[in-house]
Amino acid sequence: MKINKEGYKIIAVSGVCLAAVWTLMYYMIAAHEQSWLLILLSVLLVIFWFFIISFFREPRRIKIHDVDLVFSPCDGRVVVTEIVEDNEYFGGKKRMQVSIFMSVTNVHINWFPVGGIVKYFKYHPGRFLLAWHPKSSTDNERTTTVVQTVKGVEVLFRQIAGFVARRIVSYVKVGEEVHQNDKCGFIKFGSRIDILLPENAELLVEIGDRVVGTLTPIARIGDFGVEDKDE
Sign for the pseudo-dihedral over CA of 184, 151, 204, 121: positive
Residue 191 designated active-site: yes
Whether residue 116 contacts residue 149, with contact meaning beta carbons closer than 8 Å, is answered with: yes
Q: Where are the alpha helices (DSSP H) in 66-211?
A: 136-139
User: What's the half-sphere exposure (Cβ side, CA atoms, 13 Å) at 184?
Assistant: 33
Phi, psi values for residue 186, rounded to 5°: -155, 140
Task: Collapse the DSSP code of 44 into the 3-class scheme (helix H, G, I; strand E, B; otherwise coil) and give the result.
Answer: helix
Q: What is the rounded CA–CA span in Å between residue 77 and residue 85?
A: 23
Q: Which H helix or E strand runs over 77? A: strand 76-86
Catalytic residue among 72, 136, 137, 191: 191
Residues with catalytic roles:
191
